[in-house]
Amino acid sequence: MKNWGSNLPKLITLGYTAALTRNTLLMTAFLPKTLGNESLAVDAGFALGAILLSHPFEVARVLIVCKEQNRMIGSTLSTLKSVYSAEGVAGLYKGFVPRTIHLFPLLFSLVAASYGGKNQEAFEGVRSNPILGSLKLSTSP
């Protein structure tokens, strides 16, 4: 039986830097709203751009957590460098389409509905389900 106690801090923080960077980049999707933007096209562009910028760090996080010995291990930057040297830009964006299909609708709806404004009318009758994290049509106000 392995001694998990000595490795516990490493297990808890494995991939933390990559996850923190990924989440920080995803928050850039909210930048136009904080500056007073009212355009849905700009909101969509920033939401897609945030996913595009954050995806290489999601790839690094997954590789670090899964401990893929053949392509990395170490810091986030060394993981990104080894993936780029082995597979190029395509390696940094593996799984981008499924992740975008998964994240874009949620991120865009959160950005477009946040802070009120004229876009709020487009979301009348829609409420968020905090347990499932999805949007549902509201039958009552």
On the question of pLDDT at 45 being above 50, the answer is yes
Would you mind telling me the total number of residues written for the chain in this entry?
141
Alpha helices in 14-140 (DSSP H): 16-26, 31-34, 40-66, 76-87, 89-92, 96-113
The b-or-e profile of 88-109 (16+ CB within 10 A means b, else e) is eeebbbbebeebbeebbeebbb
Which has the minimum average pLDDT: 1-5, 12-16, 74-78? 1-5
Percent of the chain with pLDDT over 90: 17
pLDDT category at 9 given cuts 50, 70, 90 is low
CA distance 49 to 34: 16
Structure-block tokens of residue 130: 């905090």
